[in-house]
Structure 1
């Protein structure tokens, strides 16, 4: 079983949404369990409104649901301290740290990266404004210049995420342009597979 953990130094950066969509992508490659450890229980609420292509379990009930899984995706609470980050990293094969493209997010990500030396992790830029805006690409370049490991994929901002959450489905189930952000998560999922190989 391979374990991917999502965490972040602040809320509202697409952590739970990204966990749901990576779990959706990985469901093509085996049996996936998403463990919802976020106090808001976003993943559990999302699943309760519709249907996701994987199982979701509350962290307190996960032990019974884990056996036989190929993939475990863990959505943790936001704002872990340095010791918690190291413990989380030791308990997974890859840690993903979603962040939004703004200067107030860059400095904490650089500090977090320093605290995670010798750990398998990647920053994921989420909620990037659409083109021609270049904030996402600029944030990516700034992180690379600061030696922060960052995904090549950038997740675009879209009102379609709210539609998908309301329907209780992954964004890939939507129609037309609403489905476009799924392409970003598909690309990110391919990167995850490469990293874990």
Structure 2
């Protein structure tokens, strides 16, 4: 399965989602994460070599792809319509992470408009959801009323998500009692991806 993580707006947990989805999928079958973002955030995260899956650049990917069952692509920031067209054609699912903030939802709406015209297969993931937030509930309701596919899973806003990359690990292995809540969101999301 080939899954691309994409967003028109930075700061929506694109790389975090790519890392954690790859960690989940690796438990099921060999998984490769391709870092196609110019920032190379996933490669930086993987430098300490503590992740359970392989991370390579887009340039190196052709050498490795044949050896993996699952491919996760951390796409470049702010893809163009042409980039989205190529992603839609080359992957089984586009995951669109977004926070429940108004500006992020506006950028998501622009992305969805482009993807609908292409007939792309995509699903929206609510990320950085604050505790006891009505904003997330309202965002989900609005997206569902528009008939858009939304993951049931939500990813909580936790400090551990900011600190785990510094250790080169997923939140599952981050030494913080609340980190398990963050991992449970990606665990639920992963199960939905493989349904």
Q: TM-score, normalised by structure 1?
A: 0.93
Once structures 1 and 2 are overlaid, which stretch shifts more, 11-20 or 59-68?
59-68
Whether the 8 Å contact between 1:44 and 1:56 is mirrored in structure 2 is yes
SS of structure 2 residue aligned to 1:116: helix
Q: Report deviation, 1:33.
A: 0.5
Gaps (5+ residues) in structure 2? Answer: none
SS of structure 1 residue aligned to 2:188: helix
Whether the 8 Å contact between 2:123 and 2:149 is mirrored in structure 1 is yes
Q: Which runs of structure 2 are paired with 1:59-138 in the superposition (5 Å)? A: 59-117=58-116, 118-131=119-132, 133-138=133-138
Aligned to 1:40: 39
CA distance in 2, matches of 1:50, 1:161: 18
Q: Report deviation, 1:113.
A: 1.6
Report how many aligned residue pairs link the two structures: 192
SS of structure 2 residue aligned to 1:29: coil
* Cα pair distance change 1:50/1:180, threshold 3 Å: farther
CA distance in 2, matches of 1:169, 1:54: 11
Q: Report deviation, 1:116.
A: 1.5
Whether the 8 Å contact between 1:37 and 1:74 is mirrored in structure 2 is yes
Aligned to 1:168: 168
CA distance in 1, matches of 2:25, 2:101: 29
CA distance in 1, matches of 2:144, 2:107: 14
Q: TM-score, normalised by structure 2?
A: 0.94
Aligned to 1:188: 189
Whether the 8 Å contact between 1:50 and 1:167 is mirrored in structure 2 is no
Runs of 4+ in structure 1 over 3 Å off: none
CA distance in 2, matches of 1:115, 1:149: 15
CA RMSD of aligned residues (A): 1.2
Whether the 8 Å contact between 2:97 and 2:125 is mirrored in structure 1 is yes
CA distance in 2, matches of 1:111, 1:144: 16
Whether the 8 Å contact between 2:172 and 2:183 is mirrored in structure 1 is yes
CA distance in 2, matches of 1:158, 1:116: 30
* Cα pair distance change 1:179/1:163, threshold 3 Å: farther
Q: Report deviation, 1:148.
A: 2.0
Encode CA deviations 1:26-68: one digit per residue, 9 max, x unaligned. Answer: 0111100000011111111111134101000011111111122
